[in-house]
Amino acid sequence: MLAGQNIWAQSNKIKQLETEAANAKGAAKIEALIALADAQMYAGDLEKAIASADDAEDLAERLRLPELRANAMNREGKALLLAGKKRADRKFEQSLAILRTQRIQNNTLALDNLESLKTIAKSAGKPQLVQQYDVQILRIKSGGTLTEDAPVNRQEIQKELTDAQRQLLENQIKFREEQAKMLQSSKALQDALAAKEAELENLTEEQMKTRMVVMQQKLMLDSVYYTRGMDSLAVSNA
């Protein structure tokens, strides 16, 4: 029954997105087509997903909206990859090329493209390509950007990989140090609370009564000062 409900919900979602895509214009139409491609992929209708993403890409190119075009290429690449098509890698590469040439800082999209290309390279048995993608992924994850100059030879690739790994290690060490400081601060508070509790436990009944009397007297004194202050204010305003 749940499976039937899910299929019905997916079908309704796709129809809704088809209507939105048909009625929308400009960037909104491109976004609706990309969302439609996602829904069609989720439903397993890969050929329609490829077509929707391709339509989004064409429209984004005509309207000169490079980031949306890069997103549409990414979705088309995903649908092609799921469908077992050979040209999927081209779409991810083209999406990355747009991000680089237009200097678009969309690290989420860049990482998704790189991870997809890495998966394809692994399946094709190309370890050197896998290493190159690893370098770029580590660079972005350690605070760099896709638009930085890419390494051109084996030595540069190895150096950048080492630098990125070192940066990640430094970030991990810094995080652990901050975590240790927080734990120390928490322990100090716990120790202070435990000391107060121990102090209370060691008080005799008579000492506790004395402290209560002192506190009550202080409260009464504060109340008297407050009342006098209010009276003075009333006189000065009269």
Confidence of residue 47 (pLDDT cuts 50, 70, 90): very high
Residue 133 lies in a domain: no
**Is position 1 within any domain?**
no
Average pLDDT over residues 36-57: 95
Query: For residue 226, is pLDDT > 60?
Result: no
Number of helices followed by number of strands (H, E) in the chain? 9, 0
pLDDT-wise least confident of 27-41, 93-107, 134-148, 203-217: 203-217
47 or 224, which is more confident: 47
Give the whole-angstrom CA distance, residue 218 versus residue 160: 68
Within a domain: 158? no
Please give the Cα distance from 139 to 145 (Å, whole number): 7
- The number of beta carbons lying within 10 Å of the beta carbon of residue 188 is 10
DSSP label at 149? Answer: P
Quote the tokens at residue 95.
């999406």
Query: What distance in Å separates the CA atoms of residue 76 and residue 124, rounded to the nearest whole number?
Result: 20
Does residue 160 carry a pLDDT above 60? Answer: no
Position 70 confidence tier, pLDDT thresholds 50, 70, 90: very high
Residue 97's SS3 state is helix
Which pLDDT band, with edges at 50, 70 and 90, does 86 fall under?
confident
Average pLDDT over residues 88-95: 96
pLDDT in tens, 12-33: 889 999 999 999 999 999 999 9
Q: What is the domain count for the chain?
A: 1
Query: Are the beta carbons of 168 and 141 closer than 8 angstroms?
Result: yes
Using alpha carbons, list the distances in angstroms from residue 91 to 72, 103, 130, 135.
Answer: 9, 18, 17, 20
Other Cβ atoms within 10 Å of 193 Cβ, number: 10
For residue 32, count CB atoms less than 10 angstroms from its CB and return exposed for 0-12, middle for 13-18, buried for 19 or more. Answer: buried
Dump pLDDT digits (tens) for 100-109: 999 999 999 9
Compare 224 and 202 and report the one with higher pLDDT.
Answer: 202
Domain that holds residue 82: 8-124
Instruction: Please give the pLDDT value at position 33.
Output: 96
Q: How far apart are alpha carbons 89 and 117 in whole angstroms?
A: 6
Q: What is the mean pLDDT of the chain?
A: 81
Rounded to whole angstroms, the Cα distance separating 76 from 90 reads: 10
In whole angstroms, give the CA distance from residue 38 to residue 36: 5
Could you tell me if residue 196 is inside a domain?
Answer: no
Residue 166 has pLDDT above 80, yes or no: no
Give CA–CA dist 197/200, Å, rounded.
Answer: 5
State residue 146's pLDDT score: 76
> What percent of the chain lies above the pLDDT cut of 90?
50
Tell me which of 170 and 93 has the higher pLDDT. Answer: 93
CATH number at residue 110: 1.25.40.10
Nearest to 121 by CA among 91, 89, 156: 89
- Is residue 104 domain-resident? yes
**Given this model, what pLDDT does residue 190 score?**
80
Q: Minimal CA–CA distance to 60: which of 91, 41, 23, 34?
A: 34
Is position 234 within any domain?
Answer: no
Quote the pLDDT of residue 195: 72
**129-161 burial, b for 16+ CB within 10 Å, e for fewer?**
bbebbbbbbbbbebebebeeeebeeeeebeebb
**Per the domain annotation, does 159 fall within a domain?**
no
Residue 233 domain flag: no
